[in-house]
């Protein structure tokens, strides 16, 4: 059975939300880090989402549209998060 990835961190930076998961596997399974291109013993998956106004439900919601999901080293994924200007 496939091991479930484990959500280990969720951070909101401005209008972006980042959900970081530990896959439990390394580059042997997922290939090199998306960001630096080097191999990783432990590959993480980061989903980026953006806050938007949903006119149907009349509230703010999160969407992955126009956002980037990446896999790689935890430090590399942390570096690509948007900074608040």
CB of 70 to Zn ion, least distance (A): 9
- Which residues is 57 bridged to in the sheet? none
Nearer to Zn ion, 35 or 51 (CB): 35
CB 72 within 8 A of CB 38: no
The Cβ-side half-sphere exposure at 43, using a 13 Å CA radius, reads 21
- Of 42 and 54, which has the nearer Cβ to Zn ion? 42
- The SS3 of residue 27 is helix
Closer to Zn ion by Cβ: residue 21 or 72: 72
- Provide the binding-site residues for Zn ion, judged by CB under 5 A: 33, 35-36, 72-73, 76
């Amino acid at each position: 059975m496939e091991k479930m990835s484990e959500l280990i961190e969720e951070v909101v930076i401005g209008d972006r939300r980042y959900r970081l998961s530990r896959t439990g596997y390394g580059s042997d399974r997922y290939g090199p880090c998306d960001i630096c291109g080097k191999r990783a013993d432990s590959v993480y998956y980061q989903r980026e989402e953006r806050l938007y106004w949903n006119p149907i439900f009349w509230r703010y919601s999160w969407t992955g549209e126009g956002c980037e999901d990446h896999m790689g080293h935890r430090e590399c994924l942390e570096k690509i998060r948007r900074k608040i200007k």
